[in-house]
Each structure stands twice: as structure tokens, then as C-alpha cells.
Amino acid sequence: MPHLRNMRVATLFGIPILVHPAWFLLFGLTTLLLATDVYPKALDHGSTPFHILLAALSALLFFASIILHELAHSLVARVYHIPVKSITLFLFGGVAQITREATRPTGELLMALAGPMTSAMLSAALFGIWWASGVGESSALDIVLIWLAAMNGVVAIFNLLPAFPMDGGRVFRSLVWLVTGSYYRATAIAAWAGRGIAWVLIAGGFLAVLGFDPLVFGPSGGAWFVLIGFFLEGAARQSLVHNRLIKALGQHRVSDLMVADPPAIDGQVSVAVLARGVLELNPRVCYFIESDGRLEGILSAYQMRAVPEQLWDTTSAAQAMVPRSRLRATSPERSLMETLLEMETEDLLHMPVVSEGRVIGVIARDRILGVLRQAGVV
């Protein structure tokens, strides 16, 4: 089955806005519901094409508000110097890809609250515009404003449910973190609470599908709750795995796993000289490429294997290396968790280890993953 790739549609404050192909299903279902049920009942005039156009516009505005919700998370994260890779609209709404967790519970609390508070303010603003435009009117503008205000209110309330990793679950984790002083314990408690809430949603959704509707959501609403419940349960379970990963790596520093003083070579040396007879003996071999004592790049076994063997003699190390412009350095005292996150974010296999401006070693991503395998995390 081919991998579905996200599509970049815009950039806000330097943050790419992406759309997953599955989002179009959600957009279509939302438009269909509005065009065939909500707007025909609410408006006593207008043709079917008009209802479809109004529904599509309403859905686009609603998902624009979802982007603002995620953008609020992202901008607060930036205040705490946490990089944000992208914001993605997908089947269950939107998500900001924040590259690492907050280092303090107050930062976590503010980041988590930013989204729901933005949705709540949007809801209040839209209700205010509707009120100012003439309460009691039943025009298309009134109906759109009321629906958008109501949906943003629902988003704000739903996201405050203490179901980790939703916003409310992150608020709950930050409070437990403040009380216990332990990030790991707080994450475990919040994730298990999230799994419990997810199973409640799943059970309630199944009851609605079977006709025993506890909250009058109907079969279609019940089915949606089941899907959301399973999504949340999987995300909470994955958070528990991620928590064990962080705990396992938190016991080590980069200096524990780095290869000290890897060989430095001239960039004009051929790949054949470096690879032939070496790759079989040392599949993790890695060279620093230098010119006039200056680091120019890194050449690992991965880059050498990417060159066809028949071209080894005519390909130089400088041609096959990862250039300095694509490298990120780390320090020997930095945690393995932070280093691995940066390597995953930047898609790096190796990082130079620098101390007092001098390269003293190199850390490989597969060595870090080896620690996780030994700990039984992956």
C-alpha cells in the first residue's frame, strides 16, 4: 500500500501548514452533513447548490480555526525555545508537531491551555459578531456564525477532557508534574487516565450504535465516538512507550556512547580506499572529512554503501559525505533523549560531538537505538 504524503498548503510564522490526504474525507463528511441536514433545516430558503456552497465555506472556515488552535500551541512552544516542525490537518482534526516536550510543568501547562483558550475566544468572538449583526435573524450569515461559534466552543470543551495526549490530558499531566515533581510519573498517570477515558468513549459509542444511546448522539455520532476513542487509546498507549523510552535514555549522556576521536581524512581520498575491506569488519565506520584542519563533513558506512561499488574508485569522500551545512553538533554532557529527538527531527544518522569548540567524537543514531533495544523499549 503506498504511503500517503502530506501536502504543504501554506506557511504561517515560518511553520509549514500540511494537509494529510485523509483530511479530505473529514472535510467531505462535514460538508455533506451541513449541506444535507443542518442548513436545509435552518434555512427556509436557498437551493441545494447554495447549501453545498455554504457548507463548503463553513467547513473551510472551521478548519481554519483548527489551524489557529494549533498555531496557538506552536507559538507558546516557541516562547519556550521549543522548535515546531509543522501543523497538519488530518482525519481527526489538527496537530502541531512540536519536536520536544517542555522542560518545566508551567511551560507544559501554558502550551496545553493555549489551544483550547484560542478556540474559546474564537467562539466568543463569533457569537459577538452574530449578536452585533442582529439577533433573531435567520439569514445564511447568521446560521454560519452560530455554527462556527458552537463548533469552536465544542472544540474548546472537548480538548479540555483530561484524556492524554489531548490538551486537557496535558493540563492534567502538568498539574500532576507540579505536585509529584516527576515528569515520568506524571506522564504515566496521565496516559493511563487517557486510556480509561478512551475506553469510556468507545463503550458509549458502541451503546449509541446499538440503540442504547446514553447522550442522544445517534448511531452516526456513536460510530464517530468509537473511532475517536480508539485513536485516543492508541495515542495514550504510545505515550506510555515513549515515556519508557525517555526514562531509559535519561540514564545516559552522549559521552557514554560516542565514538571518541574518529579518524579524519582528506576529502579527495576515494570511497574505494575507505570502504573496501573495511565495511565488512566495521559496519559502523565513520570518518570526519577535513580540509586545512577544518571540518567539511562526515562520511559513514551508510553514505559509502549508497555509492554503487563500481563507482567507488571514481567517487571521492567529499562527493559522498554529508556536508557541514547539514550537520548539527551536540555536546558530550547532553542527554541521549534530546540528541535522538534532534537527529530524528533533522533526519540525521550521525552528529559530531563538540567540546570547547573542538570535535572530540561522533554519536550514531543506531547506537542510541541499541540502548533502547537492550532496555526492551523498541
Q: Where are the domains of the chain?
A: 1-160, 161-249, 254-374
Which one has a higher pLDDT value, 15 or 336? 15
100-130 pLDDT, tens digit per residue, is 788 899 999 999 999 999 999 999 999 999 8
Distance in angstroms (rounded) separating the CA atoms of residues 201 and 119? 22
3-state class (DSSP) for residue 17: strand
Nearest CA-CA partner of 62 in 132, 150, 142:
150
Q: Check residue 1 and give its pLDDT.
A: 38
Is residue 32's pLDDT more than 80?
yes
Query: What grid cell was written down for 160?
Result: 479540555
State the average pLDDT for the chain: 85
Identify the residue whose cell numbers are 452516526: 220
350 burial (CB, 10 Å; 0-12 / 13-18 / 19+) is buried
Alpha carbons within 13 A on the beta-carbon side of 139: 9
Distance in angstroms (rounded) separating the CA atoms of residues 300 and 294? 18
Q: Check residue 216 and give its pLDDT.
A: 52
Distance in angstroms (rounded) separating the CA atoms of residues 164 and 173? 8
Q: Check residue 116 and give its pLDDT.
A: 95
Provide the sign of the torsion angle of the four alpha carbons 38, 71, 326, 351, taken in this order: negative
Is residue 377's pLDDT more than 70?
no
Buried-state track 17-41, b at ≥16 Cβ within 10 A, e below 16: bbbbeebeebbeebbeebbeebbee
292 burial (CB, 10 Å; 0-12 / 13-18 / 19+) is exposed
Whole-model pTM over 0.75: no
- In single-letter form, the type of residue at position 161 comes to L
Cβ atoms 246, 191 nearer than 8 A: no
Is residue 256's pLDDT more than 90?
no
Render 294-357 in DSSP notation, one character per residue: EEEEEEEHHHHHTS-GGGGGG-BHHHHSEEGGG---B-TTSBHHHHHHHHHHHT-SEEEEEETT
Assign 295 a pLDDT band (cuts: 50, 70, 90): confident
What percentage of residues in the chain have a pLDDT greater than 90? 34
- In single-letter form, the type of residue at position 330 comes to T
Assign 365 a pLDDT band (cuts: 50, 70, 90): confident
Distance in angstroms (rounded) separating the CA atoms of residues 274 and 301? 9
Is residue 278's pLDDT more than 50?
yes
Render 37-54 in DSSP notation, one character per residue: IIHHHH-SS--HHHHHHH
Is residue 45's pLDDT more than 80?
no
Identify the residue whose cell numbers are 474564537: 122
Is residue 169's pLDDT more than 60?
yes
**DSSP one-letter code for 267:** T
CATH 3.40.50.300 given to domain 254-374: no
